Structures are given as C-alpha cells and as structure tokens.
Amino acid sequence: MPNPRENQVVSTSALQKQLNISSDVARRLAQTLDRVKEGNSDVLRTPLFKDMPAEDALSVMDEFMDRQRTQTPLDAELDSLENSQKDKFGPRSIAKPWDERRESIEAYFSPYTGQEITGPGFAHLNRLRPISIEKAVGYLKNSTSSGLPYYIKKALVKKRLLRDNGMRELLRRKDPCILFTRTQEQGKTRGVWGYPIADTTLEMRYFVPLLELQKKKLWRAALVGPEAVDQQVTELFKRSETDKFQLVSIDFSAYDASIKRPLQALGFGYVKDLFQTSCSTEIDYIQERFATIPLVTPDGIMTGDHGVPSGSTFTNEIDSLVQFILFEKSGVAGDKLIQGDDGLYAVNEPDTLMDYFERHGLKVNTDKSHTSSQFCTFLQNYYSRTYTDGTKLVGVYPLYRAFNRLLHTERWVDFEEYELDGSDYWSIRAISILENCKNHPYFKEFVKLIAEADRTGLTYSGRGLYNYANMIKQSKGAGELIRNQYGDDVNGLERFETVKILNEINSKG
C-alpha cells in the first residue's frame, strides 16, 4: 500500500514545483493548509439573541419548550430526539487542528477489509448519453473554488474550460484535490476534498442525466423533495404494518471513508450500465480518478486507493448506490429509502441486514441506529403515525436543531458581494431554517418566538429576496436540481408557511 504521507509538502516553493502551479496559487494554497493545520476556535453567532450569551438564549428556548410541552405533549421518541439535539447546542464553527483530525483522513486510505461482492448488476439500460461540456459548465457553482491548478472561483475559470482543448489540457494534468474543512456542532470537523474543476466538469456531464433518471425511482424520493420523502415514508409504514416488518433507521460511522474501491466499483458498474456503451471508457476514467485522486494535506500529498472523496459530483450518488446494491444483494425482504449515508428500511430481518452491511466494510453505528414498528427517522426528520397532514405522514424537524442553526453559523458569508444588506440576509436565512420546522406541533409559536427575538421581526425587502435567491443560485450549481428541505427554494419564499405566520403577526401589530 502506498504511504499516504509520502511526498512531503514543506513550503510554498515546494508546492509550486511539485504541483506545477503558479507562485500566487502556491501561496494561497499554503495559507489554506496553514489554516487546516492550526484549526479554528472562533465562535460565530448570528444577530439573533445577540444581546445575551448563547447559554441564556438556550434557557429562553428551554422555557419555551417547557410551556409548549405542558399544553401539547410530544411523542416520547420525538421528545428524546429534541433532548439529544439540545445536548449538541453550541458553536458550529470550531475546527479541530490537523493533529486531531489526521487519523480520520488517513482512514480513507486504509485497505478494504470487507467480503468480496459477486453477482449480476441491476441496471443494463444502456441508453443514457452525457450532456455537452457547455451545458455541464453551466451547472458548475460559480462562487465555489475551482480547485487546482487555478484555485480561484469557478466563475473565473469557465471560459478556459470552453476554449479549444481547454478541458483536455486540464484533465491531462491530473491535479490532486485540496483538503478543505466543514465544521459542525461539538467541534466535529469533516474533511472536504476540493475537486479540480476539469474533473468536476467531466463528472457533471454524466451526473445530470443520471440524476434525472434516479429521480423517477421511489427509493430516491429525497432527490425530488421533502413531500416525496413523506409519501414514501408513509408507504414504508404501510408495508411495515401489512407484512409485520420492522422500520430500521440506520446510521453509519465514517461512511465515505469506509466505501473503498470494491464498493465504489459496484456503484460505478450500475452507472455504466445506464449509459450507452460508447461512454464506458470515459466512465471508467471517472471511476479511476474517484478511487485514486490524490489529496493535498498539511503533511503532504496523500496517494493511493481511498474511500469516497466528498468533493466529487458523484459522492452522494455512489454513497446511495452502495447502500442500495448491498441491500438488494443481502437477500433481506423489504423496501428502502436511501439518500447518501442515510437509510430507512422496512424489513423482516433487521439484524441480518445490519450484519450484511458490516461484513461488507460498512460501519453501522448501533448507538444511533434504531429499529421500531412505531417510528423512524430519516434525513434528520422524525416520523410516526401521530404526525400527519391528513393524507400522509409528515417529517418533524427538531426545534432544538433549528434553534442552534438560527443562533450559530458555520462560517461567514460575504453577502455584500451580492448587494445584500445584513438585515435582509439574516431574516431570509432564518425564515429558510424555520420553514423546515413547519410540521412540528410547536411551529407557529416557535416562529413567533424567533420573530420577537429579531430586531426587525424577520422582515425583508423584495430586492433583498431577489439578491438572496441569486446568491443561492451562484453557490448551488447542480444542487439547484435537488430540493432537500422545505426551506431550500427561496424563490417560493412568499408562499412559505413561516411567511404566512409573519404576515399574520404584522397585520395584528
């Protein structure tokens, strides 16, 4: 196995020479690696409850929840979920230093230890075709990093991709990924693989037609939207009741790191069978880069076979397909709903299914996975027969989880670049978060609580909404094709249940 710490990067000049990049790019890359090495201890708060410590704001939330529980008790399991989210309350911007996260990155490069997977594939459609390079470039996120070799915003590189041989020249370089950082509650720090723009563009040519096909599959309802997910969860409950199956809400540990080359091959085999045979060579190239693309870290360039690189366009799709294929090959009777590392199953043999996942290299987090015939969780939402809209079950998003996001942000956004003022930005951001809670029994009162805590009452201007929507468009790219949560589509913000409540409050004020 190649040593992931070989080829040590020690200086800007070494970066420039080793990666064949300009001195300016090498300097900016070195600064990024320094930030990764040092970590970050800054606590980033939003304007909400800014006049009091976060702990006091949490006490306000506790008092609110206690009042609501007295009037309308929650399901015991939902109440437990709320309390677990409360325990996570705190900064979302703390990044561990490299010394404390090195091991989690090296785990990507560890060998596959699962059983060999054999048997036929599933697709064999052989009719999809990739979109053009021009269309693929149109789906790229303008405001995010282009990765190497330019390391500037994608918007500034698009024209170079479209010129004669521009794409081919960049692919020929086989640039590595850059290690970026995502932060979460409780100091959880996740590595993000900053993909080279040429590889992203090539992947996008195949991802877009694949996505449109996958949206038609019931087990990929999450690609369509939260309403579709609610409908499919309802069907799983019905299946569970009819066939006496158990609902398994499964949680994995280090999911991307554990999906090594043999498992990735299952997913890409599925993808390849969907496209015309003339595309096979290019898909094989994408697969090889996906499995082996190097990663620039503070220790140097890590090389060799590895798990799923998080910055790839195919990350979520391969994650989803691996779960799907392993489930189908397990022989366990039942049905499924899958999105990335999230899985919900209605099955007759839960233990057999989880054991099958384990034997094939995945790490089931038994403490966070649960089996029941009465409730389940999927994509951070709680489901039970208690909470419906009259026709189907609806996902209930925990208020404590939303509250933490309303008070703490992962990183600052330069909203002024999009001609947004702070009042508009923070109000629309808050409304988008609140909308995800619209199925919660305390939703209306929660909106009132947050509106009262905001100095503007969560008001915003029409111009601000237009510019906010443009900012989201520039940062999403192909992500615009997927609506994961109710609050994602700010173009429809005027129709949000949150806005209706705010209008009601203002009309009485």
Please determine, for residue 104, whether its predicted confidence score (pLDDT) is greater than 60.
yes
82-113 CB burial, b ≥16 within 10 A, e <16: beebbeebbbbbbbbebeebbeebbebbbebe
CB 272 within 8 A of CB 280: yes
Please determine, for residue 119, whether its predicted confidence score (pLDDT) is greater than 70.
no
Percent share of the chain, pLDDT over 90: 90
Mean pLDDT of 307-326: 97
Percent share of the chain, pLDDT over 70: 96
The closest of 67, 58, 46 to 445, measured between CA atoms, is 67
Which pTM value belongs to this model? 0.95
The span from the CA of 154 to the CA of 150, in Å, is 9
3-state helix, strand, coil in the chain (%, to 5): 55, 10, 35
Residue 126 backbone class (left: φ over 0; alpha: ψ -120 to 50; beta: rest): left
Q: Give me the DSSP letters along 161-230.
A: HHSTTHHHHHHHH-PPEEEEEEE-GGG-EEEEEE--HHHHHHHHHHHHHHHHHHTTSGGGGGGT-HHHHH
Q: What is the pLDDT of residues 395-404, one digit of tens each?
A: 999 999 999 9
The span from the CA of 151 to the CA of 131, in Å, is 25
Beta strands in 379-505 (DSSP E): 381-384
Mean pLDDT of 381-389: 98
Among the residue ranges 39-43, 76-80, 164-168, the one predicted with the least confidence is 164-168
User: Would you call the peptide bond into 130 cis, given omega within 30 degrees of 0 as the criterion?
Assistant: no
The SS3 call for residue 324 is helix
The SS3 call for residue 326 is helix
pLDDT attached to residue 8: 41
Q: What is the pLDDT of residues 212-229, one digit of tens each?
A: 999 999 999 999 999 999
Read off the amino acid at residue 325.
Answer: I
pLDDT attached to residue 479: 59
The closest of 276, 91, 293 to 178, measured between CA atoms, is 293
Tokens 């404590």 found at: 400
Phi and psi angles of residue 299, each rounded to the nearest 5 degrees, phi first: -85, -15
Note the residue count of the chain.
509
Mean pLDDT (the chain) is 94
